[in-house]
Amino acid sequence: MIANPAPSPTAARQWFLARSDLDALIQALRKSGRTVIGPTVRDGAIVNDEIASASDLPSGIRDEQAAGRYRLADRSDERVFGYTVGPTPWKRFTFPPNLEISTAHMSGGFGFEEPHIVVPELAFLGVRACEIAALAMQDRVFLGSPFTDEDFRARRKAALIVAVQCTTSSSTCFCSSMGTGPEVRSGYDILLTEIDDGFVVQAGSPVGAAIVAQVPTRRPTHAETGAAVDVVEAVRTQIGEPLPIAGIDQRLQHQLDNPRWALVGERCVECGNCTMSCPTCFCTAVTERSDMEGKSSVTERMWDSCFDVNFAKVAGGDFRARPRDRYRQWLTHKFSTWMDQFGSFGCVGCGRCITWCPVRIDVREELLAIAPIIQPIERPVAVEPVAASPGDFSIARLASVREETDDTTTLSLTDLDPAFLAGRPGQFVMVALPAFPAVPISISRFHATGIDLTIRAVGATSTALVNLHPGAKVGVRGPLGTFWPIEDAYGRHAVVVAGGVGLSPLHGLVEALVANRDRFESVSLYYGSRTPEDQLFRDDLVAWSAGKAIDVAVTVDRAGPEWKGRVGVVTTLFDMMACDCSRITAFVVGPERMMQASVQSLISKGVPPERIYVSMERHMECGIGLCGHCQTGPYFVCKDGPVFSLSELGDLYVREGI
């Protein structure tokens, strides 16, 4: 019967049943008119089948389970329930593998008839916590909607549940992760906890209490009740929580195109063992049997599997033609869409699908690989800038000068206030010399003792700066502005698009992407310059290309015969994108026309605008939002930018004169 929730163990009355008197319980169940279904050894496995006495039980036997492995072995004691779960789920008796559901006839009239429901009175002996949870899940499937399965209802109502606490576990168990065990808390009529000399017994329903009353019991000692609690707690500790289940339903839905589906699909032999041994799977098919004249027929329902090659056949073909599609359907149903349909996961963590998979696919490993837990993203906060007033500057010393191109030079500054070292890629500094106006310069690199500024000589101040020698001093204010939101690319494809000197504000970002490569599905750099001689950071480009952490593609607008690489604008490199563009986070810097063309091309490929970030260049004299020169619509680029997402800018980004 579908039992009422049991009272807590501390409130429920408890009895002690000696192991030698267990047969008395079985006989009491039989005398109540019930056929007893319990664990017994057959064909080298512990299966649930009809038993007549305690001698049919697997006394002194344990099971050894692992991925693709099941063996029986002798125990060193005479415990009866000293195993975990066998290959036969209890749904075999509440939801039979084959069932006649209808008859039809055309002789003597035309009609269809449902069979009269006659179900046996059964007592299930040895039901574990995960299996009780599985029965409850099937209750929601078959009885929890306006359309119900009356045969299932009758069989569930006729079944008396004698539950058993788990006192051992296998390496395949993960009920603690699913919240279904190992403790039995409800859903039983009688509960047994096996300890050294017998069983601590609790009743969970009046019918269960009436059965226990017919059995020779006594009050348990404090030591016995304590031992019953300890043995279950020890199993919980042994199992642990190997699967981080919180949020996995949503994580799976974001991984429908994960390449791991193809890998597991290559291993899967589509035998259906996982679905047939699963205690919650409920898919069925129907067959028709008719007489020779076709005037009468019987419709029979049978278990089916989403791994079967005919499961997804329609008139136009098979909409899950590949093994990877079938495995994805099964796994996402169990751990994601089942939640949408029935309000819970479709898995109880019994581990049968792991044990009985002939190619040893472990569902826990696949879930961790496909939908790993996402650690909360700690978003950095910009540090307070140094010298945060228009006329104030901190003093830095020029440590080294490195020529990048004919008109672009990298200055390494040191002896800086520590706040500068705490800046983030994408930020900039205001740099000043006596007798020259301050200019904004992007920070191209952060290192242990200072920062690098890569400067193109286009005006009086920038020309004076690139002509300095090591040891010279400069005034700096910063770090200023917003920075690249690298955290928004975690778990995605990170794409960096640079044009000309635009690689300078992206250089620190690329280094951060390479240093944290394991956080991204892929990292790509697309870089275009006017000529080969105009390329910045050539040594870094060579090093990045030689490594495997990042894919680097470069092009030039024009070149002589000595250039063997690509020629064309940077957007021509986008044809190399082989990933799902909807999962790209892009970072774009370069001349404004180049950025607009790149952004339009990325959007046309399916990159979401909110995942495209640009760094804007505007005239900035103060760098702190007080001079008004850099106003763009509602923003001051120096303090609200320079890094913006395209969704922030909206049509400001393509509108002339803003």
**Please, which pLDDT band fits residue 8 given cuts at 50, 70 and 90?**
very low
Q: Residue 475: name the closest of 396, 387, 384, 391 by CA.
A: 396
CB 57 within 8 A of CB 23: no
Distance between CA atoms of residues 490 and 500, nearest Å: 27
286 HSE (CA, 13 A, CB side): 9
* Both tokens assigned to 598: 């790149």
Which residue type, as a one-letter code, is found at position 654? Answer: V
Strand partners, 631: 636
For the segment 127-154, the average pLDDT, to the nearest whole number, is 95
For tokens 């994108």, name the residue: 577
CATH 3.40.50.80 positions along the chain are 488-653
Pairing of strands 394-403, 612-615: unpaired
Distance between CA atoms of residues 433 and 393, nearest Å: 10
The pLDDT tens digits for 425-477 are 999 999 999 999 889 999 999 988 999 999 999 889 999 999 999 999 999 99
Question: Is CATH 3.90.45.10 the right assignment for the domain spanning 488-653?
Answer: no
Give, in order, the Cα–Cα distances in Å from 609 to each of 81, 374, 577, 582.
59, 23, 17, 10
Looking at the whole model, is its pTM more than 0.75?
Answer: no
For the segment 359-379, the average pLDDT, to the nearest whole number, is 84
Q: Residue 644: is its pLDDT beyond 70?
A: yes
Strand partners, 202: 14, 191
Which of 239-243, 361-365, 561-565 is modeled with the greatest confidence?
361-365
Helix (H, G, I), strand (E, B) or coil at 71: strand
Between 44 and 109, residue with greater pLDDT: 44
Distance between CA atoms of residues 338 and 319, nearest Å: 20
302: how many CB neighbours lie within 10 A of its CB? 12
Q: Residue 296: is its pLDDT beyond 80?
A: yes
The pLDDT tens digits for 297-310 are 999 999 999 999 88
Q: Residue 482: name the closest of 336, 559, 382 by CA.
A: 382
Helix (H, G, I), strand (E, B) or coil at 190: strand
Dihedral (Cα; 172, 178, 182, 184), 10-degree rounding: -140
Which residue type, as a one-letter code, is found at position 134? Answer: A
For the segment 84-106, the average pLDDT, to the nearest whole number, is 94
442: how many CB neighbours lie within 10 A of its CB? 25
Write the burial class of residue 517 (CB in 10 Å: 0-12 exposed, 13-18 middle, 19+ buried).
Answer: middle
Class of CATH domain 394-480 = mainly beta
pLDDT of residue 294: 83
**Please, which pLDDT band fits residue 318 given cuts at 50, 70 and 90?**
confident
Distance between CA atoms of residues 539 and 542, nearest Å: 5
Strand partners, 200: 16, 193
Q: Residue 104: name the closest of 113, 92, 91 by CA.
A: 113
CATH 2.40.30.10 positions along the chain are 394-480
